[in-house]
Chains A and B, each alone.
Chain A
């Protein structure tokens, strides 16, 4: 197993007293980030998203590192400016974008793509709650098939955008999906991504009890079910070509069933586990081919 972390940053990156909902995946991501940054100086760029609200009202700040709130679509551009200053001045500050799914998949997509193409020295973390949480849960290209949102009352018929594939197509040094239910894997990826130079993209499945209409205490369990069922593949891509599957699912239909039934957002559309199976299988066929591993490496225990 991975070695336990030795250098936890002494000051919190995300302080107590923040206004996030209980069970928020973004809170967990930031706690994990604290355990991963070591002694790297860090600056955060947060576009409009729950993170901008969680930051608290002026002049108190929940963020324990220098932070700038950008406009919704502009975080990677603002981060490019900050990264330029750091590079020009030879300082070791790591610039990290913390963005929701809207600022990543949709309105921020062009800016993200451009910064990735320029291979800016930025770590982009998307905490993807699949739900436009800040505006109250509307349809987006991150909404999974079958999920009811406030403006698709019968559930979204289309599949979710394959964001990691899109990022891999930019041939960035590092892109990975993250399961918060697998802490060592999460910490390893965060540590690697913080230290690595060039554009890095981390895609975190971020439980949102408010938007998912699920029990706050069950957030990590839901992520685990998504991983087990194969719905949320956990893998990493180096330079857009070397694919490594990190956690092997058991493709349990029971896990998929539980994942769907424990969240009320999937109930109204009548979506069943069997409806999702073909897409999951197809996705994994592609992943197997890309990673060059026909035989599963390691079963999730």
Chain B
């Protein structure tokens, strides 16, 4: 184990590199990459690593980047790509194909606002395009978390009970370009953590066709199988986390991270780095005697409903902070979780930092004051309007 100063982009690429090398004795590693701000440094770093039995294909578009990963995974190799924003939007068709084909592709996404109008700053709307596609989605809040999550993503994606793409999200610039010291394991430790990639339905000697025409009841069954496999992800995650902790000496972050939430009357719920700011606010308000807690949803798909419901239980006021907006309804995390609160609880949505706006402690303090004054839940509110 060494300590290294890395941006989250580089941390993701280093984790992918270690995972790639770990498959050198089996089918190897294949990646398709295409640059886009603010994810570019991830693919650059990957392209500049020496990977025994690995090939990083510098393609002409994100669509093809995922195409190469589909081919690589269908051939039985370990696969990875990284992208952001419109790049992810351009990749969507093939992301859905990879998911439907149940291929264990790992992707790092630096969340960025979709355009035009062009805006390169953080917004989770890009990843949320793929909310319902059968892709496991993690939203991270630190560089260490990005590194750990990418490493575990390979293990998770390639687990026979899961066998589907895993997306690891980091907010553009806020994480992607911020350097921090992180723990990096040795190659030997990663080799022990990641068994050889085995895609059971890969193209091999016995002729079969992947992705052929299906009739309605077959699609229905396959979708439900996929859905059921997704529902099993939190439990598979727990097992992988335990093993990770034993091998690497620190416990990776949980699917849902609760902070001083047990006796909280007001809960600040969010995804990504806003959750870290919320924890600072919780500390400050607790000092003043307010019973406030925070809940960070790290695993967003599948949504760990039981864990969130348990955290919501007994909480009177729940402020859901979304760095995204489902236009015509409201924040996506809010719309997905509001039904998990106790009946009668005030669940108020705050749209915070859309398009990359800074979300500072004072913003969140205002939000906590705002929800305290509410008797019933209202329509989603813009942070600036609070």
Contact = CB atoms under 8 A, between A and B. Distances in A.
Interface in A22-58: 41, 43, 45, 52-53, 55-58
Contact of A89 (B27, B32, B58, B205): B27
B74 interface: yes
Given A11-B207, A114-B60, 8 more contacts: A58-B209, A63-B209, A74-B97, A77-B32, A78-B70, A88-B27, A88-B55, A114-B64
A69 B210 contact: yes
A82 B210 contact: no
Contacts of A118: 57-59
A64 interface: yes
Interface in A52-93: 52-53, 55-59, 61, 63-71, 73-74, 76-89
Contacts of B101: 68
B77 A88 contact: yes
Interface in B178-213: 203-213
A25 B206 CA distance: 27
The interface centre, meaning the residue of B59, B69, B75, B94 with most chain A CB atoms within 10 A of its CB, is B75
Interface in B196-240: 203-215, 218
Contacts of B213: 52-53, 55-58
A58 B218 contact: yes
A90 to B, nearest CB: 10
A39 to B, nearest CB: 13
Contacts of A80: 32, 57, 59, 64, 67-68, 71
B212 A82 contact: no
A110 interface: yes
A113 B61 CA distance: 12
By Cβ-Cβ distance, the 7 closest A-B pairs, closest first, are A81-B71, A77-B67, A85-B75, A114-B60, A66-B203, A69-B211, A77-B64
B63 interface: yes
Q: Could you say which interface size class chain B belongs to?
A: 35 or more
A82 B72 contact: yes
A118 B32 CA distance: 13
Contact of A113 (B60, B68, B211): B60
A146 B276 CA distance: 65
8 contacts: A57-B212, A57-B213, A57-B218, A58-B213, A71-B97, A74-B64, A84-B71, A85-B72
B53 interface: yes
Consensus secondary structure, chain A interface: mixed
B212 to A, nearest CB: 5
Interface string A163-193: 0000000000000000000000000000000
Contacts of A83: 71
Interface string B92-117: 01100100010000000000000000
A77 B215 contact: no
The interface centre, meaning the residue of B29, B54, B211, B218 with most chain A CB atoms within 10 A of its CB, is B211
Interface of B: 27-30, 32, 53-55, 57-61, 63-77, 79, 93-94, 97, 101, 203-215, 218
Nearest to B211: A69
A111 interface: yes
A84 B207 contact: no
A111 B30 contact: no
Nearest to A74: B67
Consensus secondary structure, chain B interface: mixed
A34 B67 CA distance: 27
Nearest to B51: A88
Contacts of A77: 32, 59, 63-68, 70-71
B71 A67 contact: no
Interface in A106-145: 110-111, 113-114, 118
A71 B65 CA distance: 13
Contacts of A71: 63, 67, 93-94, 97
B207 A82 contact: no
B225 to A, nearest CB: 13
Given A58-B218, A64-B207, A111-B63, A74 B212 contact: no
Contact of B214 (A58, A73, A82, A87): A58
A64 B207 CA distance: 6
A127 B254 CA distance: 52
Nearest to B68: A81
Contact of A73 (B28, B63, B205): B63
Contacts of B64: 74, 76-77, 80, 110-111, 114
Nearest to A64: B207
A134 to B, nearest CB: 12
Contact of A111 (B67, B204, B205, B215): B67
A168 B68 CA distance: 24
B210 A88 contact: no
Contacts of B71: 45, 68, 77-85
Given A78-B68, A81-B74, A84-B75, A70 B211 contact: yes
B67 A70 contact: yes
Contacts of A41: 205
B203 A68 contact: yes
A45 B101 CA distance: 14
A67 B30 contact: no
A7 B69 CA distance: 34
Contacts of B30: 81, 84-85, 88
B208 A61 contact: yes
The interface centre, meaning the residue of B63, B67, B210 with most chain A CB atoms within 10 A of its CB, is B67
A86 B55 CA distance: 11
Contacts of B206: 66
Contacts of A73: 63, 93
Nearest to B69: A81
B63 A74 contact: yes
B28 A70 contact: no
Given A52-B213, A58-B218, A88 B28 contact: yes
Given A71-B97, A85-B75, A61 B212 contact: yes
Given A43-B203, A61-B207, A69-B211, A81 B75 contact: yes
A69 B212 contact: yes
B77 A78 contact: no
B60 to A, nearest CB: 4
The interface centre, meaning the residue of B61, B71, B97 with most chain A CB atoms within 10 A of its CB, is B71
Contacts of B212: 52, 55-58, 61, 67, 69
